[in-house]
Structures are given as structure tokens and as C-alpha cells.
Copies of this chain bind each other. A is one copy, B any other.
């Protein structure tokens, strides 16, 4: 690479997760890396931000030669503090988030702290990529994920993509040799069907604990990310933070005369 890029790395599994170490290894091949990551697991935090409480940032020395901070806030807080406090409003060239332990296809993009961190960076105009491996295990094998992350980061840094400022990349839980390639997809209509576990705490109080299974409601959609993953492909979904459903505006216009 000619000029060294500045790359912000974050995640939602926390700074000690093997997935972020795997992503840092790849990112540092492309430039100067800054890590700002939660000091505790933050899965399912979505686009949450910390409003009512002060946030702590602590410099840590756990990645040789890499400037890194652990943060008491959410993944989105990490990105906001990286940009506003650590980088003093200088924008990095790229933000990468992950590699998440567990998939973020379909509607998971909304619940995922990994993707929300990437989205927060993209709101700031920073090209951003979230990477997720469909394996929740702490000791997951990230080698295939690293291979594809390297290809995709290189492509994003080299091409000047106009429309694609935020990519949701998922990697199937397969050995490298069984992955068939990459598919550019849409977000599948796949969601969680809940089934809360009920129980009693040690003082006899009733509780509910989130459980459930991930269901593709439109399995015939061959263009969706869930289908790409289940047939052995890495999925890339170009994503966005403008949630306007423009198609709906005409049918709502009559409300202006209510």
C-alpha cells in the first residue's frame, strides 16, 4: 500500500474476544490501527448509547504495537468516543467491527452491537464493514473469516465506492475449503421466533429469559443473505441508516388533510 490508512477497529463481544484479535491482525496489514472496544460483552445492544451515566476509557496494552482502549459504554459509544475524544474529530479511512462470534444476517443487523458500531461510523461518513462468523464458540476458527475480511477490506480501500458505505458481511461456519465464494445479497426476511424460558430466582421471584430460534420467513428468496450463507457463501449486504420507506409515502399523503 502507498499511503498508510487509519483504521478504527471495534466489536461488541468485548476487547478480550478472540474475534477482535483476529480482525486486528488483518486490519494492521492495511494501515495504522486504533482499537476502541467495550470492556465487557455487549451482544444485543443494538444502537444503544449511554446517556444517563458517565463513560470510562482506559488505555490497554494487549495488542503489541497497537493503540487500544477499553470503554465502559456500548459499541456505538466506542465509535463516538473514538471519533470525538481520541481522534479529535479526525475521521479514520475505514471502520471495521467484529469479527463477531455469531451471525448477524437478516434482521439481526438491528440487534447487533457489531453492526450498530459500523452503522454509527457510517453515519459519520466513514466507510464501515461489520464482520460476523456463524459460530458462537469462544474458540471459533477465524482463519476463513480472516481470508475474506482481507479481500473485502482491500477492495473497499482501493475502490472509491459511492453507494456502499456500510457493509454487513457474514461468514458461514465452514472450513475454508468448503466456502464457495462471496455473494452480494439483500437482508433476508429472517427473524427470531421467541420462546422465553421461565424460571424462579433464588428468592422465589419469577423471571423470563430470552430464548428462541432464527427463522427465515421467505426461504424462496434466493437473493437474501440467509440463503447465501446456508448454501456455503460469504454474504455481503450493502446497508444504510436511512430507514424511510419511500414506497409508502404516496399511500400516506391523504394524512396531510386529516
Chain A residues packing against B (C-beta within 8 Å):
41, 43-57, 74, 76-77, 80-81, 83-85, 107, 109-111, 116, 119, 123, 151-152, 155, 161-164, 166-167, 181-184, 186-187, 189, 191, 194-196, 198-199, 201, 205-210, 236-249, 251-258
For A56, give its contact among B50, B195, B206, B251 (CB under 8 Å).
B206
Give how many copies assemble into the complex. Answer: 2
A51–B210 touching, CB < 8 Å = yes
Contact between B196 and A81, CB atoms less than 8 A apart: yes
| Interchain CA distance A109-B76 in the complex, whole Å | 14
Docked Cα-Cα span, A207 to B245, in Å, equals: 39
Q: Say yes or no: B210 contacts A80, CB within 8 Å.
A: yes
- Shortest beta-carbon distance, A176 to chain B, in Å? 14
Option from B52, B56, B166, B256 in Cβ contact (under 8 Å) with A182? B256
Of residues A182, A237, A244, which shows the largest number of chain B Cβ atoms within 10 Å of its Cβ? Answer: A244
B residues in contact with A184, CB < 8 Å:
249, 252-253, 255-256
Taking a contact as CB atoms under 8 Å apart, the answer to whether A49 and B46 are in contact is yes
Q: Which of B46, B52, B191 contacts A48 (CB 8 A)?
A: B46
* CB atoms of A161 and B238 under 8 A apart: no
User: Whose C-beta in chain B lies nearest to the C-beta of A238?
Assistant: B248
Q: Is the CB of A194 within 8 A of B244?
A: no
Q: Which B residues lie within 8 Å of A162 (CB)? A: 251
A253 nearest CB neighbor, chain B only: B184
